[in-house]
Amino acid sequence: MSVYPIHRGRRIRSSKQMRNLVSETHLSADDFIYPLFVTHEKHIQKEIPSMPGCYQESIDYAVAEAQEVKELGIPAIILFGIPKTKDTTGSDAYCETGVVQEAIREIKKRVKDILVIADLCMCEYTSHGHCGIIDGGEVDNDKTLEYLSQIAVAQAKAGVDIVAPSGMMDGMVKAIRNGLDKNNFTGIPIMSYSSKYSSSFYGPFRDAAESTPQFGDRRSYQMDYRNAREAVAEALTDVEEGADIVMVKPALSYLDVIYRVKQATNLPVAAYNVSGEYSMIKAAARLGWLDEQSAMMEVLYSIKRAGADMILTYFAKQAAGILKIRN
Ligand code: PBG
């Protein structure tokens, strides 16, 4: 590009229409996936204190919210369950009457044309709060795989549209694909949380999902935030094992990782704009330190610009509302 005064960068920023014409990144409600926290309790909706606007809710409220999400033009929800009882193997996650299975059945029955994704992990269902089976004080990778495969089949039987394993076990995608295929669910896609970091930005979620580990932390299975090449390796492994969509999580401190994963694979890339990223903006806005709407839109566009094809975000409804008015 030639230099000033032949070139003036400001020419293409001179009006809203001009800026729209040259904009490189587009965002729409179609890009969003909205998370819901479903509890086994009856007819209850409790706001999560650290996540204003998000709720722990019973299935009837979740059905109503799914309908609202659909009417905003958002194509998908992802479900997290808060079970009645937790045990060492997280049995509510794979039993037919588990909270997520019940929620999937109800939502699929009552809301037309919305994709129901189920988070596939054990941490919300185990008494120890870890994402797998504990043996000798450690999460046993290979024992956990059998359970993950069972959970996937239970979710598929309930009518789920996509399963989303988030436990960062080695071989999880392969085990789940095998389990689904053996049970004739060859058409159910796997959205793998392939590059999931051990992050302090999950704090508010763990309150919401009641999934804080009772001892230790998740650093022996979730990734170290100092690494990016490793995230690409993890994504490529999942592609080989049969993932249909790969994910980077969290999103905001990991825009470089989203970019790299996007370059390295031809599969759709999802990014999870996690609870702490949501709460930071909500909190700063409450204090009057940030303008909530514009900060939210800037963050969502940045994630898209980095290369995400879809964004899991607690802002989905709010942002879809704004995009509807703008378009
Ligand atoms: C694990 C899971 C976590 C999130 C989604 N799935 C938390 C964790 O690993 O502790 C975090 C989502 C968020 O913070 O918004 N099942």
Tell me the pLDDT tens digit for each residue of 105-154.
999 999 999 999 999 999 999 999 999 999 999 999 999 999 999 999 99
Mapped onto helix, strand or coil, the DSSP state of residue 149 is helix
Mean pLDDT of 185-190: 98
Of the candidates 174, 196, 262, 317, the residue annotated as catalytic is: 196
Q: Tell me the average pLDDT across 256-261.
A: 98
**pLDDT at residue 211, rounded to an integer:** 86
Residue 115 lies in a domain: yes
User: Is there a domain that residue 118 lies in?
Assistant: yes
Residues in the chain: 327
Please state the atom number of ligand 1 nearest to the C-alpha of residue 35: 15
pLDDT at 209: 86
**Encoded tokens for 121:** 């992990």
> Can you tell me which residue has the tokens 């309908």?
67
> What percent of the chain has a predicted confidence (pLDDT) above 90?
95
| Residue 94, pLDDT above cutoff 70 | yes
Residue 250 in domain: yes
In degrees rounded to 5, what are phi and psi of residue 72?
Answer: -80, 0
Pocket flag, ligand 1, residue 166 (CB < 6 Å): yes
CA distance 230 to 315: 29
Mean pLDDT (the chain) is 96
Beta partners for residue 34, in sequence order: 77
Pocket flag, ligand 1, residue 157 (CB < 6 Å): no
Q: What pLDDT digit, counting tens, does each position of 277-295 carry?
A: 999 999 999 999 999 999 9
121 contacts 167 by C-beta, under 8 angstroms:
yes
| CA distance readout (Å), 121 to 88, 190, 261, 320 | 13, 13, 23, 28
Residue 327 has pLDDT above 70, yes or no: no
Q: What percent of the chain has pLDDT over 70?
A: 99
User: Is residue 21 domain-resident?
Assistant: no
Q: Is the pLDDT of residue 67 over 80?
A: yes
**What's the sign of the alpha-carbon dihedral 216, 243, 108, 32?**
positive
**48 vs 325 pLDDT, higher one:** 48
pLDDT for 250 beyond 90: yes
Question: What average pLDDT score do residues 249-275 get?
Answer: 98
Total of domains in the chain: 1
305 contacts: CB under 8 Å, gap ≥ 6: 24, 25
In the predicted structure, residue 71 carries a pLDDT above the cut 90: yes
pLDDT in tens, 198-246: 999 999 998 888 888 999 999 999 999 999 999 999 999 999 999 999 9
Q: Is 316 part of a structural domain of the chain?
A: yes
Is residue 171 a contact partner of residue 151, using CB atoms and an 8 Å limit? no
Asked about 70 being catalytic, the answer comes back as no
Q: Is 182 a residue of the active site?
A: no
61 within a domain of the structure (yes/no): yes
> What was the pLDDT predicted at 1?
62
Residue 93 within any structural domain of the chain: yes
CA dihedral 53, 163, 97, 209 (to 10 degrees): -30
Tell me what pLDDT residue 233 has: 98
| Element containing residue 70 per DSSP (H, E) | helix 59-71
The protein residue whose alpha carbon is closest to atom 14 in ligand 1 is 202
Give φ, ψ of 126 to 5 degrees. Answer: -95, 145
Task: Give the tens place of pLDDT for each residue, 297-313.
Answer: 999 999 999 999 999 99
At residue 143, the pLDDT reads 96
Q: Say if 116 falls within a structural domain.
A: yes
Atom of ligand 1 nearest to the CA of 122: 16
Cα(162)–Cα(85) distance, rounded to whole angstroms? 25
Total-model pTM: 0.97
Q: How far is the CA of 121 from the centre of ligand 1 (A)?
A: 9
CB of residue 314 inside a 6 A radius of ligand 1:
no
CA 66, 70, 72, 75 dihedral sign is positive
Looking at the predicted structure, is the pLDDT value of residue 260 above 70? yes
Q: Mean pLDDT throughout 183-211?
A: 95
29 C-alpha to ligand 1 centroid (Å): 23
> Which one from 70, 108, 249, 282 is the annotated catalytic residue?
249
Q: How confident is the model at residue 326 (pLDDT cuts 50, 70, 90)?
A: confident
Can you give the CATH number for the domain in which 76 is found?
3.20.20.70
Q: Which domain holds residue 51?
A: 26-326
Ligand 1 atom closest to Cα of 201? 14
